Structure 1
């Protein structure tokens, strides 16, 4: 039975929204955790009597004993290793993660033998998460799916959290592997332009991006081509980033001072952006039959991507309270369908 939940990064943008929703919708003791105890204390004072501050540093294993206060840990920051996940599994603590970093998720998947009494849920949030569920639902409407395209649209008018900005900037100069024309190829983030039409916004230039959903879905669809693209609501920004890539200017992001400077610029620029807080996921499934291209698609629109990630997480926690989830390590779409969470 889950009586207490610890949200690591709980005073951040996404973690704070998760905490607020859980306090409103459950009776769980909510532990707001992070490296800065003063920030956790201040946040707890804002959100209610059932929130308690906890200090923990994911890089310091000596601080992991505080995890024993929780029945469930929700991780809202990116990690470089699985030490904390292993500690949770060793002590039969349930674990949930919102990261979009597939390299880290693969490392967690290797811990399956350690999951004796714990339920681990990965790919929880907007993308991955909601994107996986939309793809799963769309697949049911087409018997054979040769290509599956997922386009993630983010609004530049939303005040994104530092962690989200840092992850996007970190990825901008990185390469990854995808399946193209039956062959595994290496591609660079924000290349491979595709034009995606959103009926509320019009056409947007979208580019390949290393969200983890395409990798987990590809394993379930070995004979299909599965790609995830990223675009922003302000079209000139999409085109500008593509030009910077072609000119190889993004290679400067290998220098920490350049990367940190860009993160600061993006944080400040959000206050003056002409964009909105809209976000969307468009999933398109295609096949060819008798030289004819058949396509079905589905679009999910919302406002405030951080809030949607928090909502998905909160709903999964409520499901865990109502009924225990299977022991083991699972991605969200392996446990739920879209209608299970959003009726």
Structure 2
């Protein structure tokens, strides 16, 4: 029987890259959804289009019922509830998403027991960050006897090839302070604060990065016995960092919280990146540094990744996890973050098959 995959938001930048990965690596039948059909949309023989608004609960239920895996790519996830996940659990259909928001994961995790009882494997945050980044941390943690500090840094060139939705997510992340796990306690951190310079592999080199609220800030604390988790993000070119810092620190908070102002900033930024992308590219650099003890001695494990297309990297991770679930290689009923569900062995297989290289180095600390 042919596997059938439903990609909600499959016409967006991330969703379309997930679709392309599945076409390249599987023979599944794919249904992508959008609120409106456009005449210029062209599909491969593996793909069909379904007009669907997620607010149409009956239509959503019917769509899920005819598939055996749902991949939720319709963000921004701050505005999403867990209705898609809940429906998948009710109907016994496995679930993935590319969520990237702390509020959403707090909506999803309470369904863990229900998913486990229904035999539904549901994995959230499966893109690139979160997603590949989580697995890079797990890979590093497993090299240590006692991990203590996780320090994740991201540099994204221009738009990252991910469209205006990611711009909305970035500006929404500037509206409120958030809690970070520092020295075994939760402390409030202001977004886009505490700049530091990180050395990424070429072609990026030195990049300024700042505190940013992403799901790894929470899930890695639950997954590994560490004292501190630091998550920092920066843009390339650096001018965007300075503009974002001004937005986060000098704009009135009440003004920034208004949806219409978030939309204005998002559209303006996206138009700017349409020009700068030609110079900066749309790639991503990830640096995962895990410090701890190995054979009783302090060491640090640093893993790095560079990819020329941020959205394509996200699609590769989500697509690979979907492939493992469909092939029966990954079955873990319940609600899980990537690092809790995907073994390092499977992660390394996925990256190798997709020609994504991760470099790792372990260095003694003195």
- TM-score (norm: length of structure 1): 0.91
| Aligned counterpart, 2:238 | 235
2-structure distance, mates of 1:287, 1:32: 44
2-structure distance, mates of 1:237, 1:285: 28
**CA contact 2:201–2:285 (8 Å) conserved in 1:** no
The Cα of 1:131 is off from its aligned counterpart by 0.3
SS where residue 128 of structure 1 aligns?
coil
| Aligned counterpart, 1:329 | 335
Stretch deviating more after TM superposition (69-78 or 137-146): 137-146
1-structure distance, mates of 2:184, 2:120: 37
The Cα of 1:313 is off from its aligned counterpart by 1.3
1-structure distance, mates of 2:137, 2:2: 30
| Aligned counterpart, 2:260 | 257
Deviations 1:258-313 (A, max 9, x none): 22111111121122114222211101123599xx9743311111111100111111
The Cα of 1:221 is off from its aligned counterpart by 2.9
| Aligned counterpart, 2:303 | 298
- 2:177 is the alignment partner of 1:175: yes
The Cα of 1:251 is off from its aligned counterpart by 5.3
**CA contact 1:194–1:206 (8 Å) conserved in 2:** yes
- 2:69 is the alignment partner of 1:72: yes
SS where residue 191 of structure 1 aligns?
coil
- 2:265 is the alignment partner of 1:269: no
Structure 1 residues 195 and 250 mapped into 2: Cα distance closer, same or farther (>3 Å)? farther
Structure 1 residues 304 and 268 mapped into 2: Cα distance closer, same or farther (>3 Å)? same
Structure 1 residues 255 and 327 mapped into 2: Cα distance closer, same or farther (>3 Å)? closer
2-structure distance, mates of 1:287, 1:333: 18
2-structure distance, mates of 1:230, 1:265: 20
| Aligned counterpart, 2:283 | 278
Stretch deviating more after TM superposition (120-129 or 333-342): 333-342
Structure 1 residues 157 and 171 mapped into 2: Cα distance closer, same or farther (>3 Å)? closer
SS where residue 74 of structure 2 aligns?
coil
| Aligned counterpart, 2:312 | 307
| Aligned counterpart, 1:88 | 88
| Aligned counterpart, 1:211 | 214
| Aligned counterpart, 2:324 | 319
2-structure distance, mates of 1:293, 1:25: 41
1-structure distance, mates of 2:175, 2:289: 26
**CA contact 2:201–2:304 (8 Å) conserved in 1:** no
SS where residue 245 of structure 1 aligns?
helix
2-structure distance, mates of 1:2, 1:260: 41
The Cα of 1:249 is off from its aligned counterpart by 5.0
Deviations 1:98-125 (A, max 9, x none): 1111221222111122221321111211
| Aligned counterpart, 2:27 | 27
> What does 1:135-150 correspond to in 2, within 5 Å?
135-150=137-152
- 2:250 is the alignment partner of 1:247: yes
1-structure distance, mates of 2:197, 2:293: 20
1-structure distance, mates of 2:299, 2:72: 40
**CA contact 1:2–1:71 (8 Å) conserved in 2:** no
**CA contact 1:173–1:188 (8 Å) conserved in 2:** no
SS where residue 168 of structure 2 aligns?
helix
1-structure distance, mates of 2:299, 2:237: 30
The Cα of 1:8 is off from its aligned counterpart by 0.4
Which consecutive unaligned segments of at least 5 residues does structure 2 have?
Answer: 353-366
1-structure distance, mates of 2:93, 2:201: 44
**CA contact 2:161–2:311 (8 Å) conserved in 1:** no
Number of residue-to-residue matches in the alignment:
337
**CA contact 2:289–2:300 (8 Å) conserved in 1:** yes
**CA contact 2:97–2:124 (8 Å) conserved in 1:** yes
| Aligned counterpart, 1:151 | 153
The Cα of 1:86 is off from its aligned counterpart by 0.8
2-structure distance, mates of 1:172, 1:2: 44
